Structures are given as C-alpha cells and as structure tokens.
Amino acid sequence: MVAAKAIALKPQLVLTYKLIKGAVRPSTKIYALPYVDFLSVGNKVPNENDAHRLVTVIADTIKAAADEAGIGYIAAVKTAFAGHEMYSEDPYAPGLTGSGAAHPNAKGYRKIGEVVAEHLKAN
C-alpha cells in the first residue's frame, strides 16, 4: 500500500519537474535526486528488507518522473551512505527517532554534496 502511494506521486513529480524546467533557461541542467538508502543493514530495525524495497520503489518513481520530464537523475545518491547507514559505527543518518530522525546528519549532507559534485564534474 505504501509503495502504491509512492508510485502515485509520479504525475505530481513530472509536473513539478516540468514547471522548474520551464522557469529556467533551456540550457540549464536540472537533476532529480533519489532518496538515500540510509537504512541499517543486518536487520537492526523491524521490516528492514521491506524498507529497503520501498526506498527502491521511491527511487524508481523519481527516476521515471525525471525521464518523462526530460531532466537528469543522479542515481549514485541512493547508495551514497553505503557503510554509513544508521546504527553503523559512523552513521550519516541518526536513526528513526529523536532529532533529525530519518534525515541525513552533517556528514550525510556533505556526502550527498560530494556525490552530486562528482556527477556534475563528469557531465
């Protein structure tokens, strides 16, 4: 059910990407980013495998919307936290509770920036 809701967001994403595309110069490069798979590995949270599959559904939906809207997509962001998932020794996301729950911390945002910068330099 949650996956279906994520997939149902595609038309809204396409519209949003097209609105952004229409508001800038035609030569402007626009990129969509997937959700980072920040979830733990090793069954440290309930339903971990289902959560990873949901992150993939969301990423696939964002990519499909980006493709339809004619903008770029930086796939490498999805796996940017490999080895630094929540509950690892050096997590880039603090976990599912408390301040900043389910969002990158400063190291995580820096890593996302590095991945995006590498992509921009290569393209």
Residues composing the chain:
123
Residue pLDDT, tens place only, 93-107: 988 888 888 899 999
In 3D space, the residue among 66, 77, 123, 75 whose CA is nearest the CA of residue 104 turns out to be: 77
pTM, full prediction: 0.92
Specify the 3-state DSSP secondary structure of 103: coil
The tokens describing 18, both together, are: 């097209």
DSSP-derived secondary structure for 5-74: HHHHTHHHHHHHHHHHHHTS-TT---EE-PPP----SSS-STTHHHHHHHHHHHHHHHHHHHHHHT-EE-
pLDDT of residue 75: 98
Which pLDDT does position 2 carry in this prediction? 87
Q: How do the pLDDT tens digits run along the chain, 123 residues long?
A: 889 999 999 999 999 999 999 999 999 999 999 999 998 788 778 888 898 999 999 999 999 999 999 999 999 999 999 999 998 999 999 888 888 888 999 999 999 999 999 999 999
